[in-house]
Amino acid sequence: MSMKSGFVSIFGKPSVGKSSLMNAILGTRLSIVSPKQQTTWYNILGVLNRKDAQVCFVDTPGYHKVSKSKLNKYLVETALQSLEDIELIYFVIDQSAYLDAEYEEMITIVTKPGKPIFLVVNKLDLDTAKRHDLVAAPFVEKLHPTAVFHVSAATGAGIPQLVKATIETMPAGEPYFDEKTLTSHPIELIVADTVREQLFSRLQDELPYSAAVVTDDITESPKGIRAMVSIYVAKDSQKGMIIGKGGELIATIKDVARKNLVRFLGERVELDVRVKVEKNWNRKPLTMKRFGLSVSKK
């Protein structure tokens, strides 16, 4: 039996469920999931291993028109980079989507590389009015996708059919990673993202977007993992909001993140989390680069 392998870019607007979709395909919580927009700040790579195939999924930040914000510009640039050197594109919308000017722009972008495109209509479980075919119709007309799939990342409906078709679309080739690999991301990024997920879960409004999480140091030994993590905020007033009254909030963030890491990594984790102020970091390209966000200076 010949081996198949390749890369899939999961492309779409913020909050259409791209991260949930990849997690559902992989059967594990690899990418941050939150009702807030733009919780994915990196192209997160997840690897699906089968006996006859290896499919590498790239979960991207949501695409949106570039604003003046350096962070937003970085997120859009990162999403566009995911369309390079891939075999298949998932164009993800949800059951409430409508074909607006921004979607028209996105369709032009994804069709340019000339790669196969699957239109994936997510959140089927929320489509109580059974309108998903009507929602998909104008996208099918403009996008001319290779195939259309109606799925629910929340319930798993339609996921097996999507995965089967994806594997069939992959070219013959050797695996890119060993069969035990779930992600190519370094453990430092996994630790930082696990902490950052708790910021989005427990803080309101724009505060999580003003906080960068960096793994300063990590050591691995037979006893487990010890990680030193810094949460950088853009204003002095934000530090106390993350720490919380009597340090309760930061203690909860640390405790839940540590337990999630133990479940994901399968070993003992010791986690130290500090909150620091780096004024206006999200407006400074050099500081963003130091935090691992390599935004252009334009």
Distance (Å, rounded) from C-alpha 216 to C-alpha 165? 41
Q: Is the pLDDT of residue 2 over 70?
A: yes
User: Residues 78-102: what's their mean pLDDT?
Assistant: 82
Tell me what the pLDDT averaged over the chain comes to: 81
Domains of the chain: 4-169 (3.40.50.300), 187-290 (3.30.300.20)
Q: CA separation (Å) from 114 to 88, 89, 143, 146, 204?
A: 10, 10, 12, 11, 41
User: pLDDT (tens digit, 9 = 90+) per residue, 151-173?
Assistant: 999 999 999 999 999 999 999 99
Q: Is the pLDDT of residue 272 over 60?
A: yes
> Residue 141's pLDDT is what?
95
Instruction: Give bridge partners of residue 93 from the DSSP assignment.
Output: 121
> Residue 202's pLDDT is what?
79
User: pLDDT (tens digit, 9 = 90+) per residue, 173-203?
Assistant: 998 887 776 665 667 777 888 888 888 787 7
Q: Is the pLDDT of residue 77 over 90?
A: no
Q: Is the pLDDT of residue 227 over 60?
A: yes
> What per-residue string of b and e applies to 10-38 under the rule 16 or more CB within 10 Å gives b?
bbbbbbbbbbbbbbbbbeebbbbbbebeb
Pairing of strands 147-150, 117-122: parallel
Distance (Å, rounded) from C-alpha 259 to C-alpha 267? 10
**3-state per-residue secondary structure call for the chain:** CCCEEEEEEEEECCCCCHHHHHHHHHCCCCCCCCCCCCCCCCCEEEEEEECCEEEEEEECCCCCCCCCCHHHHHHHHHHHHCCCCCCEEEEEEECCCCCCHHHHHHHHHHHCCCCCEEEEEECHHHCCCCCHHHHHHHHHHHHCCCEEEECCCCCCCCHHHHHHHHHHHCCECCCCCCCCCCCCCCHHHHHHHHHHHHHHHHCCCCHHHHEEEEEEEEEEECCEEEEEEEEEECCHHHHHHHHCHHHHHHHHHHHHHHHHHHHHHCCCEEEEEEEEECCCHHHCHHHHHHCCCCCCCC
User: pLDDT (tens digit, 9 = 90+) per residue, 49-74?
Assistant: 998 999 988 877 666 554 454 545 54
Least confident window among 1-5, 87-91, 98-102, 185-189: 185-189
251 phi and psi angles, rounded to 5 deg: -65, -40
Least confident window among 7-16, 85-94, 115-124, 157-166: 7-16
> Residue 87's pLDDT is what?
92
User: Residues 111-128: what's their mean pLDDT?
Assistant: 92
Distance (Å, rounded) from C-alpha 196 to C-alpha 71? 16
